[in-house]
A and B are shown apart, each in its own frame.
Chain A
Amino acid sequence: MRLAARDRAPAGLAGRPVYELQGVSKTFARRNVHALDNIDLQLTEGSFAAVIGSSGCGKSTLLKIMAGLLPPSAGSVVLAGAPVTGPRRDIGMMFQQATLFPWRTTIENVVLPIEVRDGKSAARAKHDDARALLELVGLQGFEQVYPNELSGGMAQRAAICRMLITEPAVLLLDEPFSALDELSRDFMNMELQRICSERTATSFLVTHSIPEAVILSDVVHVMSPRPGRFVEAVAVDLPRPRTLDMITEPRFGALVQHIRGLLDKGAFL
C-alpha cells in the first residue's frame, strides 16, 4: 500500500494495462523461504519495464509466476483480463541461455513453438514469417545453419525470433544477454529496443545490470531481497529512441546513481 502508490506507472505512460499483479507473494514452504512479499505491478501496453535487484532477491521467481510456470502463494496475476493459471500463448519468454536445439536448423528452432502448439504443417506454413523475423534480427542467410555454427549473440538473436514467432502480447526477458560479452550485449540491447518498438510489444526485463535496465526501460522497479519486495518504481524520462551515447548524459548518470543508492540501502536492511 505504502509502496504501491509509488509503484504505479508514471502519468505519461498510462496506457491500457495488460499485466496486473496484485499482492503477489510466494513462500517455498519446504525450504522455509519467503521469496516474494506483496508485489503489486502494472504493465501498460507497449511499455518496457525492468526489475532490478541483487541475485537471490526473487526476480526470477517473480518472472516464473508471471509466466504461469509457478503458482503464487497469495495474490492475483491477470493478463489481458484473464487470470494466469499456467503457460499461455500470449506470453513469450527468453532466458539467459539461448537454448537452441542442436539437431534443428536455425529456422526449425524458430518455428518450434508453432510446431509444439499447432503441429508440423502449421510450423511449415510459418517458415516465411520465421524468415522475416530472422531478417529483422540480421540473421538472413542463416536459416539452414545448425546452432553449433552460430556465435553466442547470433544464437540469442535466433532465440528472440523463436519468442516472437507466436506474436506474444507480453515478452518476459530473464537476463537475456547476460551471458554475452559487453560489446555484443550493448548491441543486442539496442536491437531489442528496435524490435520492441517495431512490434509495440509489452516487455518485462529481469536484470542485475543498472545501466542495462535504465537504457531500455520506461520504468525500473527496484527490488530488495528476503523477502523480495518492490522498493521503488523509478521512471526513466530519457527520450526515445535511446542510444548508447545517452550513457554519458548527466540524466542517465543521475538515474543510475539513484538506483544504485536504493540497491545499497536494500542490501543493508
Chain B
Amino acid sequence: MMHAPTTAAGQPAAPGQTVWAEHVSWIDRIPRAVAMLLLLVAFLAVWQLVYEVRLLSPIILPSPLETMADLVFVGRNLVTGDYMLGALWVTTQEVLLGFAIAIGVGFLLGLLVGETAFGERAVMPYLVAINAMPKVAFAPLFVSWLGFGIASKVALAAFIALFPVIVGTAAGLHAADENARMLFRTMGASRWQTLIKLKLPVGMPHFFAGLKNAAVLVVVGAVVGEFLGGGKGFGELIRVAASQLNTPRVFSLIIYLSLLGLLTFWVVIWLQRRLVFWHKETVADEALPQ
C-alpha cells in the first residue's frame, strides 16, 4: 500500500495509472494577449470612472474618449504629412543621431575603460563622477553652445544615453571567464585577437543590455532638450499643448512619442536577436513584437 501509485488527491490510483496534473491557477492560464487586453480595459474603466465622478477637473484629466478622439486627430495629421509629421521627423532625427553618437562614443570609451589599465584606473573615476551629475542640467549649456536648433537636442540625447553604453561595453569586456582567457593564452592569441575573438563576443549580451537602456534614455534626452531649448520637435508641440491646457492633445502626443521609444527599443532587440543568437536570455526576451 505504501508504494502504490497515488493521485494528486491522495487516493489510490487504478493499477498502471499514475496520471496526475500539476496545479496551475486559473489566472496563469489566461492567454497573454487576453490578459493584457483585460488590464487595458480595466485601466480605461477606472479612468472613465474618475472622469465621471469629477474627481479631477476635466481640464486636468480628459476622458478616455476625448483622448481617443485626439489620438485619431493627431494620427490623421501624421498620416497626411501635416505639420505634426514634420515635428515627429525632427524628434526622430534627434533620437537617431543622438543614439548613433551615444553608441559610437560610448563603445570607444567603454573599450578604453574596459580594456586598458589606464582607462580603468584614471578615466573610470571621472566617468563615474560625471554619471552622478544630473545630466539634464546641462541642457541650457548645450543650447548656449550649439544654439536652438537640432544640434543641442542631439547633444543632450547622446549625453544622457552615453553612460549605459559605456557601462555595458566595459562590463562585457570583463565577462570572459578565467578558463577562456587562459585558453586564449595557451593558443598564443594576441591582445587584438583575444579582444575580437573572445572578449567582444562574450560581452555582447552586456553591450546590448546597455543599448536597451540607452534606447529609452535617448528619447528622454531629445524631448527634455526640446522642452528646455525650444525648436520644432514633438516636445515643443507637447509644451505648447500643455500651455494651452489642451490635455487630450498632451496625452495623445505622449502616446505617439512613446511609439518612437518603443521603435528604437525594438530595433535594438531585433539586432540583438540576430547578433547574439546563442544567448538564452536573448531568445527568451520579453517585450518583443512576436
A residues whose Cβ falls under 8 Å from a Cβ of B: 64, 67, 69, 86-89, 91-93, 95-97, 99, 101-103, 112-113, 115-117, 146, 148
Contact = CB atoms under 8 A, between A and B. Distances in A.
B186 A87 contact: yes
B201 A116 contact: no
A89 B182 CA distance: 14
Contacts of B186: 67, 69, 87, 91-93
Contacts of B197: 112, 115-116
Interface of B: 177, 179-180, 182-189, 193, 197-198, 201-202, 277-279
B190 to A, nearest CB: 8
B284 to A, nearest CB: 13
Given A102-B279, A146-B278, A148-B278, A87 B185 contact: yes
A67 B185 CA distance: 10
A217 to B, nearest CB: 22
7 contacts: A87-B188, A91-B186, A92-B186, A95-B182, A101-B202, A103-B201, A115-B197
Given A113-B187, A117-B187, A148-B278, 12 more contacts: A86-B188, A87-B186, A91-B186, A93-B182, A97-B179, A99-B179, A99-B180, A101-B180, A101-B201, A116-B184, A116-B193, A117-B188
In the A-B complex, the 10 residue pairs with the closest CB atoms: A102-B278, A116-B187, A93-B186, A113-B187, A99-B179, A116-B189, A87-B188, A95-B179, A97-B179, A103-B278
Contacts of B185: 69, 87
Identify which of A87, A112, A116 gathers the most chain B CB atoms within 10 Å of its CB.
A116
A87 B202 CA distance: 23
Contacts of B183: 93, 95, 99
Nearest to B276: A103
A262 B185 CA distance: 35
Identify which of B177, B186, B188, B277 gathers the most chain A CB atoms within 10 Å of its CB.
B186
B155 to A, nearest CB: 35
Contact of B182 (A69, A88, A115): A69
Contacts of A93: 182-183, 186
Contacts of A89: 188
A106 to B, nearest CB: 13
Nearest to A102: B278
Contacts of B279: 102
Contacts of A103: 201, 277-278
Contacts of A102: 278-279
A91 B183 CA distance: 12
Contacts of A99: 177, 179-180, 183
Nearest to A101: B201
Contacts of A112: 187, 197
A86 B185 CA distance: 9
A87 B187 contact: yes
Nearest to A92: B186
Contacts of A92: 186
A89 B188 CA distance: 8
A91 B184 CA distance: 13
Nearest to A147: B278
Contacts of A87: 185-188
A112 to B, nearest CB: 7
A102 B180 CA distance: 12
A86 B197 CA distance: 21
Contacts of B177: 97, 99
A53 B180 CA distance: 25
B241 to A, nearest CB: 48
A189 B201 CA distance: 32
Contacts of A115: 197
Contacts of B193: 116
Contact of A116 (B179, B188, B202): B188
A145 to B, nearest CB: 12
Contacts of B188: 86-89, 116-117
B180 to A, nearest CB: 5
Nearest to B201: A103
Nearest to B278: A102
Identify which of B182, B183, B184 gathers the most chain A CB atoms within 10 Å of its CB.
B183
A87 B182 CA distance: 10
Contacts of B189: 116
Contacts of A113: 187
A24 B235 CA distance: 70
B261 to A, nearest CB: 30
Nearest to A166: B187
